[in-house]
Structure 1
Amino acid sequence: MAGSTPNDQPTTTPEIPDHVLRVHRRLVEAGHRSLLAGGAVRDHLLGLPPKDFDLATSAIPEVVDALFEKTVLVGAQFGVVRIIEPEGEVEVATFRADIGIADGRRPETVRFTDEKEDALRRDFTINGMFWDIDAEQVVDHVGGRKDLQLKIIRAIGEPRERFQEDRLRMMRAIRFSTILQFPIEPETWDAVVAEAKFIDDVSGERIRDELERIIMSPHRLAGYHLLSDSGLMQCILPEIEQMRDVMQPPQFHPEGDVFVHTGLVLSHLSEPSFTLAMGALLHDVGKPGTFEDAEDRIRFHGHDELGATISEQICDRLRLSRQQTERIVYLVRRHLVFMNLPQMRIARRYRVFEEDGFEELLELCRVDCLGSHADMSLYETCLGMWNEWKERAPSRDPLIQGRDLIQMGMTPGPEIGSMLEALEDARRESEVVDRDAAIAWVQARLDGRQ
C-alpha cells in the first residue's frame, strides 16, 4: 500500500497546515495530548492529499476554550470546540466515550476519556486512527492500518451498535466503499441491510450530503447498486426502486429495464455537477407511472412532465436549494426536447439553446444515448447545431425596448411583449441585425406592410 512500510509506519509525514500545527503546539505546551484524527490520517496512508485536519485531545472543552482567543463551542457538551485562526478554523474534540443513544444521531451524554476509548466509539476502522504529530507515527487502536491494506470497510466493534448510534453511518459505509472501491466487510454489510429501514430517522439534509458524495464519485454506478442492494434506496428514494422491472421498447433500449438504464446513464457522466448527476438519476423517474404496453410498442407518454413533478417532490424531501431544484426539474422536464430539435425552425431552436441549463441538458442527452441504444447521431447533430449557434455568439442585449415601441405608437399592454418576442425571433433568424433594422421591422408591422 502506498505510504506504508513493512512495520506499518508511513515513509512520509502528512503536510499539516501551519494554523493546525499552532493549535496542536498550544495544546501540547499546556500539557495535553493532541493527535491528528480521522480522515486526514486515512487519506495520508492511502497516498491521498488530506482535506480535513481535525485534532483530538485530552484537554476538556473548558480548557480548550480558555487556551485560545477566538473559539466557537459548537458542541461543547459532546467535547467539540472550533478554534478560529486567521487562515481558517480547526475543530478540536476531547477524547470521549459516548453513553446511550438519544436520537439515532447523538449520544444521550458523553464521558471524557483516553484516546483508545475515543477510537473505539468511531465509525469505521479506517477512520479510527490517529497521527502522533510529534512522534510522526500512526496510533492505531482499532486495526485501521490492516483494513487499509486489506482494502475493506469494517465497522469498529459491533456494527449494528455503530449504526444505531448514528444511522447516517450506513450511508457513509456506502460512500466510502464507492469512493475508495473497497468492499464492505460481510458482518458490516449485514448490519447495513438489517438497519437500513431506520435511515428515515436521519434528516433529509444529512442524507442529501452523503448522496451527493456518492453520485459525484467516478464510481457512482457501484454506489447506485450498493444503495439498492442494501435496502437504503428503497427508504431514501423509493421512486428509483420502482423503476425495476419496468421494461422498455427493446429497439431503443436493448440494455433492459428503466433501473438498469438509469444506472448506465449515471455511469457515463464525466465530472458532473451535483444537479446534472441528480438530473441523470431522475430523468426517467416518471416512466413507471406512465408505462403503456401499446399495440405497436411500449410507450411512456408524458413521463417527462410526471418526472418533473416527482423530481420536485424528491428535491424538497432532500432539502435541496431552490436553485438546485429548478435546475434538476428543468433537466427532467426537457430531456426529450432533442427528439424534435433538428426539425425546429431556427428561432425556436435558438430559444432552446438560450435556456439556462442547456449545456447540462445536452450532456444529459449524450449519456442518455450511451446508456441505451448507443446511437449518437441525434446527439452529434444537436451538438453541431449548438456549436454553430455559439460561433455566431449572438448578443442577448435587446435592440429596442418597450419604451421604444410606446414612442412608435403602441399602447402599453401584452401586445408589446408579443412584438418584442417576435422581434427577437426575427433577430435569431438573422432577419434583423441592428437597432435601425429592428425599428424598421417593427414599423413595417405597425403599418400593416408585413
Structure 2
Amino acid sequence: MSAQKELALDTARILRDAGHLVYLAGGAVRDQLRGIEPKDFDLATSATPTEVLALFPKSDAIGEHFGVIIVKGHREMIEVATFRTDGSYKDGRRPESVKFSSPEEDAQRRDFTINGLFQDPFSGIIIDHVGGQTDLETGILRAIGDPKKRFQEDALRLMRAIRFAVVTGFEIEENTLNSLKKCAPLLKQISPERIRDEFSKILVSKNRGRGLDLLAETGLAKTFLPELLTLQGCEQPPQWHPEGDVYIHTRIALSLLDSPPLHLALAVLLHDIAKPPTQTWDDEAKRFRFNGHDRVGAKMAEEILRRLRYPNHTIEEVSFMVSRHMKFMHVQEMRTAKLKRFMAADSFPMEIELHRVDCDSSNGFRDNYDFLHLKQEEFANEPLIPTPLLTGKDLIDKFSLSPGPKIGEILRAVQTEQLEGRLSDKERALAFVKESLST
C-alpha cells in the first residue's frame, strides 16, 4: 500500500470515528476501477472545513473558502473536500461561492461521469449518482448533466476532456463533443499556464497523436496553438514524404515516440512548424522547398513556448533541437572533430530519437541514424570531448600572448587536432601552437 493511500485511509478512519460520512472521490475511484494504481487519493466528506481542521490541526486551510483542506502526513498530503454545490462561475474558472451539501449534489457539480464516483474506503462499495460506472465499462467520456454548462463553468474542462479521452482511450460522447466544439473559444479565458499543463499531459500520453487530432478538430488548437493548423494542407515532395502533408507527418512522428520526455515530444511537435511560412515552389525541380525552416522554426518554437509560459530551460532545449534537426542529413560528411562536437550536446540522445521518428514518418531512410549508432559504439570508450591539452594560461606563459579572442581560436584549433586524433599530449600540442604561430 502506498504511503498516500495509507494516509487517506487513516484520515478517513478518523473522520468516520468522529461521526462524519467520508468517501474516496474522483480520480482515485476511477483509476482503481480501471485497474490502475491511483497517484492521488482525495476524500469527500460531510465534515465542514472547521470540523476537519479541528480533527487535523496541522492541516493547510488554503482552500477553506471552497471547502477544501489539505491534510498532511510525514511526506504525503491529501485533499479533503466537504460535499458541496458551486455557485455561479463568472470568470469561467472558479465558482464565486460554494454551499455545503450532500454527496448526490456534490457528484452533480463535477466535470465527467467517470470522475463523479465515490467509494466507501472501508467496504469498497461504489456510490454512483451519475452513471459513471456504465461509462467506465463502455469506454465513454460524458459530461455530467448539461455539457455546455459544465464547460462554461470552467473552460479548462475543454482541455481536460481531450486529456481524459486520450489517456483512457475513451470516445467522447456526442453531446459532450458537440458542446466542446461550440465552447472552444472559451478557452481564451484560461491562463496560458493551466493550458500548458494540460497540453503537456496530452503530449506525453500514449495516444498523443489522437490528442493532436482532437485539439485540431474541436477548434481548441486554434485558441492556443494556431500554428498547428497551418501544417494541414502544407504539401511536401512525395518522393521524400509519401505520408502526406506536414500535419500528417508531424502526427505520425509524434505517435512513433515511445514514452517520450516532454522536451522531446515538444521538439517533434515543432520540428517542422516553419514549413508553411518557408514553403516555396522550385519550378526547375518541380517540387516544394522549405529552405531555412529549421532556423525559422527554432525562432517560432521559442515564441510558441514562451507564449505558453514554458520554463526557460525547456524553451532553450526545444529550440536548440529544432534548429539542429536538419543537420542529421549531413553527419556522414562531417569531419571527426565536428561530428564529436555535434554528438556531445546534452540533448543529443533526444535529438537522435527525433531524427528516428522524422525518418520513420516519412521515407523511412535510416542511413544517417544507423551511421550515428555505429559512431556511438566507436566513441563509447572515451569522452567525446576529452580533457583539454592546453589552457589559456599555458598559451600566455609559453608564448607571451595577451588575453583575447586569439586565445580561444588557438585553443579550439588544438581541440580540433585532439578530436581528430592527431594530438594526444601537451608537448605535441605546444609544438603545434608554435608552428601555427610561426606561419
TM over 0.5: yes
In the alignment, what sits opposite 2:411?
Answer: 420
Matched letter for residue 428 of structure 2: A
Quote how far apart the aligned CAs of 1:431 are: 1.2
The 8 Å contact of residues 290 and 302 in structure 1, kept in 2 or not, is answered as yes
C-alpha offsets along residues 270-306 of structure 1, whole Å, 9 cap, x if unaligned? 1111010000000000000001011112101111111
Alignment map for 1:325-404 (pairs within 5 Å) = 325-404=315-394
Candidates 131, 137, 152, aligned match of 2:119: 131
In the alignment, what sits opposite 1:169?
Answer: 157
1:195 aligned onto 2:186: no
In the alignment, what sits opposite 2:257?
Answer: 269
1:432 aligned onto 2:438: no
Alignment map for 1:141-152 (pairs within 5 Å) = 141-152=129-140
| Residues 160 and 145 of structure 1, relative CA distance in 2, 3 Å threshold | same
| Residues 254 and 265 of structure 1, relative CA distance in 2, 3 Å threshold | same
Candidates 200, 203, 209, aligned match of 1:215: 203
C-alpha offsets along residues 349-373 of structure 1, whole Å, 9 cap, x if unaligned? 1111112211111111100001111
How far, CA to CA, are the matches of 2:57 and 2:433 in structure 1? Answer: 68
Quote how far apart the aligned CAs of 1:410 are: 1.6
> Could you say what secondary structure the match of 1:365 adopts?
helix
Aligned residues: 436
Alignment map for 1:279-294 (pairs within 5 Å) = 279-294=267-282
Quote how far apart the aligned CAs of 1:390 are: 2.9
TM-score, normalised to structure 1's length?
0.94
Higher mean C-alpha displacement, 66-75 vs 280-289: 66-75
How far, CA to CA, are the matches of 1:386 and 1:371 in structure 2? Answer: 23
How far, CA to CA, are the matches of 2:320 and 2:11 in structure 1? Answer: 47
Quote how far apart the aligned CAs of 1:16 are: 6.6
C-alpha offsets along residues 111-151 of structure 1, whole Å, 9 cap, x if unaligned? 01111111110010001101101222111111110111111
> Could you say what secondary structure the match of 2:81 adopts?
strand
The 8 Å contact of residues 68 and 83 in structure 1, kept in 2 or not, is answered as yes
> Could you say what secondary structure the match of 2:71 adopts?
strand
> Could you say what secondary structure the match of 1:56 adopts?
strand
Quote how far apart the aligned CAs of 1:385 are: 2.4
Alignment map for 1:83-162 (pairs within 5 Å) = 83-162=71-150
> Could you say what secondary structure the match of 2:172 adopts?
coil
C-alpha offsets along residues 167-187 of structure 1, whole Å, 9 cap, x if unaligned? 111111111111111100000
Q: Which runs of 5+ in 1 are unaligned?
A: 1-12
The 8 Å contact of residues 285 and 307 in structure 1, kept in 2 or not, is answered as yes
How far, CA to CA, are the matches of 2:122 and 2:2 in structure 1? Answer: 12
> Could you say what secondary structure the match of 1:390 adopts?
coil
The 8 Å contact of residues 36 and 130 in structure 1, kept in 2 or not, is answered as yes
The 8 Å contact of residues 362 and 383 in structure 1, kept in 2 or not, is answered as no
TM-score, normalised to structure 2's length?
0.96
How far, CA to CA, are the matches of 1:331 and 1:195 in structure 2? Answer: 35
In the alignment, what sits opposite 1:305?
Answer: 295
The 8 Å contact of residues 254 and 373 in structure 1, kept in 2 or not, is answered as yes
> Could you say what secondary structure the match of 2:159 adopts?
helix
In the alignment, what sits opposite 1:444?
Answer: 435
The 8 Å contact of residues 344 and 385 in structure 2, kept in 1 or not, is answered as no
The 8 Å contact of residues 343 and 384 in structure 2, kept in 1 or not, is answered as no
The 8 Å contact of residues 295 and 323 in structure 2, kept in 1 or not, is answered as yes
Q: Which runs of 5+ in 2 are unaligned?
A: none
Quote how far apart the aligned CAs of 1:387 are: 3.1
> Could you say what secondary structure the match of 1:221 adopts?
helix
The 8 Å contact of residues 19 and 87 in structure 1, kept in 2 or not, is answered as no
Candidates 311, 317, 330, aligned match of 1:321: 311
Alignment map for 1:13-28 (pairs within 5 Å) = 17-28=5-16
How far, CA to CA, are the matches of 1:430 and 1:383 in structure 2? Answer: 20
Matched letter for residue 36 of structure 2: L
How far, CA to CA, are the matches of 2:153 and 2:128 in structure 1? Answer: 22
Higher mean C-alpha displacement, 406-415 vs 117-126: 406-415
How far, CA to CA, are the matches of 2:299 and 2:305 in structure 1? Answer: 10
Quote how far apart the aligned CAs of 1:87 are: 3.3
Question: Percent of counterpart pairs with the same letter?
Answer: 44
The 8 Å contact of residues 153 and 177 in structure 1, kept in 2 or not, is answered as yes
In the alignment, what sits opposite 1:3?
Answer: none
> Could you say what secondary structure the match of 1:336 adopts?
helix
Higher mean C-alpha displacement, 367-376 vs 436-445: 436-445
